[in-house]
Structure 1
């Protein structure tokens, strides 16, 4: 499977396709290769295996301040849009199939309503959005699965039992959310406490992996939201990792998580494609799908897409009216940004896994399975592939209110000044003698470089890039000489690895500073 992943990723790069689209198409093609056995997905296993680490990775790097600042907008998407889309899909499904119970229609809406965190990550990594839109989409993808899964469970229970209590369902929803926050906060706090005492790089990195599954499984065992627990734990760990990790752990953990997330995301999209064969076998073949399900399925998927536009533009109109009347300080998105937000509603593994978990007694179960798969195909292959084009056409404006007081260069100057103060305390003796003149001169130059530079911000960036290009070239020359010395037998392997590590760190620092 991973061999196919590498090949499809390479092909996607050559064809300038989103990797998610290439993986789904390639997986669907591989599923029908003669002689290969079909892939049977255990939906509970898929959720517990893939969802926690991918949510953890997203929460880990979430900026807390913008997340809190835009919490109202995030909740509008993660809860309001999910509930609204569920209602729209339920109404459309009921109109198309009047004999289907309302609870079953709501169950289908809950399956299709939450955009997928994995799909959102895969697309957002390839496009550049204003900070506000990025925060809203990332926050939505972290929280909306909880709302969709809760709605789904209540709807299925209503179908099987024939009864539904709105008051009890609302109370249970808030209990699940609050319980998930408590469990996730406790797991995250325990992680911080233990990490300070492990004292081993490998153990610390392993602990970051275990915390996501610990939070999810503990929350599910306590019958609260595992999704909210993982997100809370991830936010906690991401906040404290800057003070509990040393440089070595941070570099190694980042590299480890990049590879882990790459493999998990690729496996998710490939499994979606591979599941097509089993899905068609379950519903009676492609001919049955085309003859009996094509029209209602396409109309329901269209309703999913339209519902997101209606909700986002409707809420934005209310915010705009409230802003004009002085009832709110929140600024509306505007039509261009709202269009981009509306188009960025890709579905993925959660939709498929939840659909596959439908009980056999669920009315119209086959239709729901096909609709879920088509919704994933349409949103990932159409919306995900064209989102970059939509962004370029709409050109959503940057929201200046989200910018921090200091830009990167100003913050960098503050850091250099703090470093210079520390060096001056150590490099100058009690009698005023300079103990480390070269070190002192180096840090003074760095601390005063920003104030001494005359020119625009773009000219400064070009000068910085040119400076570090020279360093990168010097590192490359040093590495070439190091390899030559090793190959000639002048140095042993231990010396090679030690000096190579120093050069690698120097190159990483230069590349990061240049970028």
Structure 2
């Protein structure tokens, strides 16, 4: 029972901190970390120890697969070069910088331990990036690159981390490490692709919405554990499986499954995100209790210097390398140098999170300076979340790259909606002369012609006042119908099952109308 009570208490605290974050306009993840730190110092609160294996094997797979599932594969593939440029190059460069500075500050620290610290804090976190980026309206390419980086960079860092920890026990060749790095990554991708394809084949054949949604959770843990069992990259396996499922969602999954999965996964991701960040804050008390032999001034100095190096090293990699790549004519022609403001945002969006903390806590108990390394990793997470997380929105607004709300529906969305309406209308026209269905088809054709006409107007930039009025009237009529249904249930004893069945249909239609009307209300 204590574990159940603790989890429920943390979820309740997460809801409270989410409300505070909304009122104060602070990033949700930052508020949770700060709130967890505050709770940790309340007298009588028991220390919370985060098992690193649970953090990696329980929290990471669903959060990574959820992010990968929503990732636009076409955009991801189109931006693969800058994504790998950050996810591999920037992570290795940052790890070397942190390792060199750590070795310089702590001469007795072995090089392998210093590189292990660099690998721990090098990768920006997918959860932290998503929780902050989703609140901002910035160019789509920046979001794609940053989210893509955060999906892949954990694999780079964790592989480097494993080699650094192993190097403390045995010597190894850098060439062997590089070859093993490629094998580990390729093995994870292969396992994830096979698992994803198996899920795409099996899930529709379950023919039960609840079973199909449950299977999407099973697959993320299955591919992660399978990859880890053969010493491949579990992170790459989960990301690959998520991308495969995301591409197949609208082709192979039923509408009920997509709707249910969207709701269930949204809830699960909120809970896991919340618990991850509040658990990070709750670790502070236990970490401080284990540090011995260092004065407060020394610890603060080490933490500040390493955090500064962590932030600056990303600029040192991204800015010069971006410019040097454009010296190649083919590269400059295919991918021109982005505006400097975009580069600054990519450099500043380097928040660390749960993977760094879990990797630090997973260090062997006899690892050199283990407690100090865990403390420094925690300080790096805290510094990047608080400093970069709270100021990222300000930086974006200051650089004037935040996109304004569109006064019309985006042309590509209008074109897609028009395509759907025209295809539906064409099907009705084909049935117009049918002796059986012709009368029905002719009766409902005006509604689809009306849709095409309105959508064509939006695509041409026409004023959406007429569409807004139509949507508002439909929404009012729908709500009036629902009120009448509820009164019929209360007064005339309508069966509950019928109420729920019709009510669900009305709810889905209301969501559709509100989504369209929300676009109109932004005008």
Q: Same fold (TM over 0.5)?
A: yes
Aligned to 2:102: 93
Equivalent position of 1:81 in the other structure: 90
In structure 2, what is the equivalent of residue 28 of structure 1?
A: 37
SS of alignment partner, residue 144 of structure 2: helix
Match of 2:286 in 1: 278
Residue pair 1:55, 1:117 contacting (<8 A) in 2 also: yes
Report whether the alignment pairs 1:138 with 2:147. Answer: yes
- Contact 2:411 2:459 survives alignment (8 Å): no
Q: Which moved more, 1:172-181 or 1:488-497?
A: 488-497
Partner of 1:402: none
Say if 2:293 is the partner of 1:290.
no
Question: Is 1:166 the equivalent of 2:174?
Answer: yes
Measure, in 2, the Cα distance between the counterparts of 1:432 and 1:17: 57
Greater shift after overlay, 219-228 or 28-37? 28-37
**Over residues 165-184 of structure 1, what are the superposed CA-to-partner deviations in whole Å (9 max), with x where a residue is unaligned?**
11110010000011011100
Q: C-alpha separation between the residues in 2 aligned to 1:410 and 1:501?
A: 29
Contact 2:91-2:119 at 8 Å conserved across structures: yes
Alignment match of 1:238 (pick from 229, 238, 246): 246
Q: 1:472 aligns with which of 468, 475, 480?
A: 475
Equivalent pair of 1:319/1:330 in contact (CA under 8 Å): no
| Aligned pairs (5 A) from 1:23-422 | 23-161=32-170, 163-284=171-292, 288=294, 290-323=296-329, 328-396=333-401, 407-422=412-427
- 1:116-139 CA-partner distances (Å, limit 9, x unpaired): 111111111111110110110010
| Aligned residue in 2 for 1:497 | 500
Q: Tell me whether 1:457 sits opposite 2:461 in the alignment.
A: yes
Residue 480 of structure 1: CA displacement?
Answer: 2.5
Q: Cα gap change, 1:306/1:466 in structure 2, threshold over 3 Å: closer, same or farther?
A: farther
- The alpha-carbon deviation at position 339 of structure 1 amounts to 0.6
Q: What is the total number of aligned residue pairs between the two structures?
A: 503
CA distance in 2, matches of 1:251, 1:26: 33
Partner of 1:401: none
Report the TM-score, using the length of structure 1 for normalisation. Answer: 0.93
Question: Which is worse superposed, 409-418 or 174-183?
Answer: 409-418
Q: Which runs of 5+ in 2 are unaligned?
A: 1-9, 404-409
How far off is 1:477 after superposition?
2.4
Inter-partner Cα distance in structure 2 for 1:231 and 1:433: 49
Rounded Cα–Cα distance in structure 2 between residues aligned with 1:241 and 1:13: 32
Q: Structure 2 vs 1, CA of residues 61 and 454 (structure 1 numbering), >3 Å: closer, same or farther?
A: closer
**8 Å Cα contact 1:297/1:367 also seen in 2:** no
1:316: how far off?
1.8
CA contact (8 A) 1:188 1:234 kept: yes
For residues 231 and 443 of structure 1, the distance between their equivalents in structure 2, rounded to whole angstroms, comes to 40
Q: Deviations over 1:451-504 (max 9, x none)?
A: 4x38962723x5434432332232222223322333334534233222212210
CA contact (8 A) 2:83 2:145 kept: yes
What RMSD over aligned residues (CA atoms) do the two structures have, in Å?
A: 2.1
Deviation at 1:328, TM superposition (A): 5.0
Structure 1 segment 417-456 matched on structure 2, within 5 A: 417-429=422-434, 434-451=439-456, 453=457
**8 Å contact kept, 2:96–2:115:** yes
Contact 1:119 1:348 in 2 (8 A): yes
SS at match of 2:365: coil
Q: Determine if contact 2:138/2:402 at 8 Å carries over to the other structure.
A: no
User: Equivalent residue for 2:5?
Assistant: none
Could you tell me whether the CA contact under 8 Å between 1:103 and 1:158 is conserved in 2? Answer: yes
Change (3 A) 1:101 1:458: farther
Task: Tell whether the 8 Å contact from 2:428 to 2:442 is kept in structure 1 after alignment.
Answer: no
Name the stretch that deviates more: 82-91 or 354-363: 354-363
Q: Which moved more, 1:423-432 or 1:10-19?
A: 423-432
Classify 1:239/1:71 alpha carbon distance in 2 versus 1 (closer, same or farther; 3 Å): same
Aligned equivalents of 1:114, 1:5: Cα separation in 2: 25
Quick one: distance in 2 between partners of 1:108 and 1:388? 29
Q: Following the alignment from structure 1 to structure 2, what is the Cα–Cα distance between the partners of residues 419 and 389?
A: 45
Q: Which runs of 5+ in 1 are unaligned?
A: 399-404
Q: Secondary structure at the match of 1:491?
A: coil
Whether contact under 8 Å (1:319, 1:331) holds in the other structure is: no
Deviations 1:91-117 (A, max 9, x none): 111222223221111111101100011
Moved more, 66-75 or 499-508: 499-508
Instruction: Confirm or deny: 8 A CA contact 1:429 1:435 kept in the other structure.
Output: no
Identify the range of structure 1 (289-298 vs 254-263) with the bigger mean alpha-carbon deviation.
Answer: 289-298
Cα distance in 1 for partners of 2:300, 2:378 equals 12
Q: Residues 41-79 of structure 1: CA distance to partner in whole angstroms, max 9, x if unpaired?
A: 110111000000000001101111111111000000000
CA distance in 1, matches of 2:162, 2:310: 20
